[in-house]
A = this chain, B = another copy of it.
């Protein structure tokens, strides 16, 4: 509680007089002085490593609490040459990729993971056609680590040495950049199998953009299963958005009027599909079953059958890997869990 009073009085122990009002945050020097030790000793105590007598330890600890000392990350970063923020680089065709709620979630999750470490987050779009733009971004000494989103192989190759062990990719990885990924293939397979088991035989899919590796794994799984069952694939290209799903639904039914199930590459896509279908008087799931992917909060509310992934956890895991500079396995795959609800 009333720490501030104590601080205001205590922080100027060795000073001639208490200056005006602006109690500026305490520095390590203040702590050292208050503890009656040298700056170096104080630093050692705080670092946890290095030698220090129990007495010194104790006194420094007290001083820190008393003054409410918080290390200045800029100073630390400067001496360590380590940077002060994590960069989230999102590949995409245009800056609009950053408008995706999925990116919002990723940024927020990384920010939450960074905050306790005294680091901030920055986001930037990297043009799909000019991956070398990433180099400019990593040139910045302020960048302490890198999280790649919508990663492409070209991007992976451009991660500089300086960031080795401080970079992670959500999606595909490489020999030098570990990755954290979802088992899209398995998830989609489970969905398609569920549809098949429910008697659906004319199953279409609204896909994601072709350049996205992780989306392609879903599409691949869809094709394989249909192929194995001797069924033809029915694909319409989408872009993860509800708006595109809305349009795509009509295209699917125009091209293949007897379609009895539509697999959405994402929940938003599926929601769009359902919106269009209902608007056209087509019953879901009676006439056409619809499935999503990701299990966003809204999915439960509208009873969407989908595959669930702990996106937040995944991103947090990724952020933690770079924050703690951990030697990581080349790839960590998170499972996908089928969630059967009303829409299929």
Identify the A interface with B (CB < 8 A): 1, 3-4, 21-22, 24-25, 68, 70, 72-75, 77-78, 83-86, 88, 98-99, 101, 103-105, 107-108, 111-112, 114-115, 118-124, 132, 135-136, 139-142, 161-162, 241-243, 245-246, 268, 271-272, 275, 279, 297-298, 300-303, 312
Contacts and interface: CB of A to CB of B under 8 A. Distances in A.
Given A107-B111, A122-B120, A275-B303, A139 B21 contact: no
23 contacts: A25-B139, A68-B139, A70-B139, A72-B78, A72-B142, A73-B74, A74-B74, A74-B78, A74-B83, A74-B84, A74-B141, A98-B108, A98-B112, A104-B107, A115-B122, A119-B120, A120-B122, A121-B121, A242-B298, A242-B300, A242-B301, A271-B302, A275-B301
Copies of this subunit: 2
A73 B81 CA distance: 11
A4 B135 contact: yes
Contact of A141 (B70, B104, B162): B70
Given A68-B139, A298-B298, A122 B132 contact: no
Contact of A111 (B111, B302, B303): B111
Contacts of A245: 301
A343 to B, nearest CB: 12
A135 B7 CA distance: 12
A99 B161 CA distance: 35
Contacts of A1: 132
A75 B141 CA distance: 10
Contacts of A105: 101, 104
